[in-house]
Amino acid sequence: MYKPTLIINKSTSHFSTRIWLVLVALTILTFAIGEEVVQGKAVMLSVLAIAFIKGQLIANYFMGLRHVSWLWRGIIMGYFVVVGGMVAIAYLL
């Protein structure tokens, strides 16, 4: 009974390791963008888009929301859309 569970657990671990590496890479990308002197609307929107992707990865794969009702995934995605959208509007005004 235990063997299949362990196999599933091992593959889950490998998967979460990949998600972690993607998150670290996106963080370094954000830092690199921040170090660029030239800033503009496109750069601001790119950084917000990266934050959106990171938020989705954490919510769905670290918090485990991909297994639960779509309503909860929708709430977290909606949060990022509304907060990110309002921030973008404030910067574009």
Partner 1 sequence: MNTNAALMNEDGSLPAEDLPGDFAIWIFILAEMLVFGVMFIVYAFARAHQLEVFNASQLTLNRGLGTLNTVILITSSYFVVRSVAAIKVNDARQSARWLLGAMALGAMFVVVKLWEFNEKFSAGITLETNDFYMYYLTLTSFHLMHVLMGMIILGCVVFKLKHGDYTAAEHFGVETGASFWHMVDLLWIVLFPLVYIIH
Residues within the interface to partner 1 (CB under 8 A) = 2, 4-6, 9, 12-13, 16-17, 19-20, 23-24, 27-28, 30-31, 33-35, 39, 43-44, 47-48, 50-51, 54-55, 58-59, 61-65, 67-70, 72, 75-76, 79-80, 82-84, 86-87, 90-91, 93
DSSP letter assigned to residue 82: H
CB 85, min distance to partner 1, A: 10
Distance, CA of 63 to CA of 22 (rounded, Å): 16
Least spacing, CB of residue 73 vs partner 1, in Å: 10
Min dist. Cβ of residue 83 to partner 1 (A): 5
| Nearest one of 9, 52, 26 to 60, comparing CA atoms | 52
**Which of these, 49, 50, 48, lies nearest to 28 by C-alpha position?**
50
Residue 27's nearest CA partner among 61, 46, 50, 45 is 50
